[in-house]
Amino acid sequence: MASYDIETLLIDVKEVMTTNLNTKITDINTEKNDTTILSAINAAAYLQDMDDSTAVYDPFVLYMVTNIDSEGIGPATMKTVTVNIAIILVDSSYLDIINRMWRYGRALEEIFEEKWKFKRGVCDFKIESLPVLSFQLLDESQRYKVVGINLISSFA
């Protein structure tokens, strides 16, 4: 059996998002039934790095490993990996941007709550919710809002 590693973890995380996030966004839009409509995430807007090309997507998802704790146990090393997942939206003229961000955060949480164990069956995880934050790129051309979660998973 092939071993489970960080690369496979990131593949699984992306698959859960690309398969389920837009459906969850539609469900939340239908449930709320108001003028705050969340946009779907473009299939190409799931990124592991933020650079100038990300500006073409609004919103986009940034996911990356932010922490690795390792402990050698005999012939295997147990790893606890934190994957940060953030939905980022250009902070333009939305009067309801904070509500939008909370709804995106809810969508992320719910898809991972529903898929708390990845299909390979060797990796489950803990979910930490993150607050809505503002940030600006160094070139100051855009202001953004971000909301997200941390997935914390352990495997050998």
Round to whole Å and give the CA distance between 57 and 46.
10
Helices (H) and strands (E) in the chain, counts: 2, 5
Confidence of residue 55 (pLDDT cuts 50, 70, 90): low
- pLDDT grade, residue 139 (50/70/90)? low
Percent composition of the chain: helix, strand, coil (DSSP 3-state, to 5): 30, 35, 30
Give yes or no for residue 74 having a pLDDT over 50. Answer: yes
- Within the chain, strands assigned E span 46-47, 60-73, 76-90, 125-136, 143-155
Distances in Å between the alpha carbon of 52 and those of 26, 36, 41? 28, 28, 18
Average pLDDT over the chain, rounded to whole?
A: 88
Taking only the tens place, the pLDDT of each residue in 8-23 is 889 999 999 999 999 9
Q: Spelled out in words, what is the top-level CATH class assigned to the domain 6-155?
A: alpha beta
Tell me how crowded residue 118 is: count the other CB atoms within 10 A of its CB: 20
Spans of all domains in the chain = 6-155
Question: What's residue 17's pLDDT?
Answer: 97
Whole-prediction pTM:
0.89
Q: For residues 62 and 1, which has the higher predicted lDDT (pLDDT)?
A: 62
Per-residue model confidence as pLDDT tens digits over 111-125: 999 987 765 655 678
The helix-helix angle for 6-32 and 97-114 (nearest 10°) equals 120
pLDDT tops 90 at residue 75: no
